Amino acid sequence: MTSATNCQSCRRPASDTLLTYRKGTGEVRREGFLQCDICERFACADCLQVYDIFSGYDFLCHECAQGFGASPARPRGH
């Protein structure tokens, strides 16, 4: 499946800031939206974060992460 051109959570179009994802204290810059490992929606950096739940490199939107009891490192976006 190809990446969406708009975030499937907040519907905003891709931009540099929305394609820079947080991983712990660092950042991961991508060319397109990352896909949530659970719901498979393509989401921007405000709606998805790289978590350390199973593999240490898990892509979860904030809605799915709440189901696992994970919380973002810091609030972003909406």
List, for residues 22-71, the tens digit of each pLDDT value. 877 888 889 999 999 999 999 999 999 877 666 667 888 888 888 877 65
CB 21 within 8 A of CB 7: no
In the chain, the number of structural domains is 1
Confidence tier at 2 by pLDDT (50, 70, 90): low
**d(Cα 58, Cα 20) in Å, to the nearest integer?**
15
pTM for the model stands at: 0.73
Are the C-beta atoms of residues 24 and 52 closer than 8 Å to each other? Answer: yes
Which domain range does residue 65 map to?
1-78
Range list of β-strands (E), the chain = 20-23, 26-29, 34-35, 42-43, 48-51, 58-61
